[in-house]
Amino acid sequence: MVKWKKGIRISVWNKYNKRCAYCGIKLQYDKMQIDHITPIHRGTLQSQLNVLKGKNTIENYNPSCKSCNSSKSTYTVENWRYEISQKKDRLLRDSSTFRLLNRFKLITTRDKKVLFYFEKHKQ
């Protein structure tokens, strides 16, 4: 786990009005995680292929909630957008509980482009 300097943490926290750059939920300072927009580590195979890696600079940091940071993991923003867009179809295919809830209209599904909070609320 990276130990961030307080000034950097505060700057990142304020970047999108104390909200997660991805889902937009309000972040408590002590719960906020810092995401590398372009990942530092991209996995062994990608490393061997000379894939561009991010840097430890404030321009490469986004404020993130724990669930978004965990889900994004080492994906680029575009790769993660694609993975999110596939989750509904995977749930419909693989989860009988999800299909049942969908049939009884307890949840609804729709096709919609994944748009992150930071894209809707430019700095």
Residue ranges making up the domain that contains 85 = 6-120
pLDDT tens-digit readout, 98-112: 999 999 999 988 888
Confirm whether 57 is domain-assigned.
yes
Domain count, the chain: 1
Confirm whether 1 is domain-assigned.
no
Q: Which two tokens stand for residue 113?
A: 């482009």
Q: Which helix (H) or strand (E) holds 33?
A: strand 33-36
Kindly give the residue spans of alpha helices, DSSP state H, lying in 39-95. 44-48, 66-72, 77-94
> What is the arithmetic mean of pLDDT over 86-108?
94
Tell me which of 90 and 52 has the higher pLDDT. 90
State the chain's mean pLDDT as an integer. 89
Confirm whether 105 is domain-assigned.
yes
pLDDT tens-digit readout, 2-23: 666 878 999 999 999 999 999 9
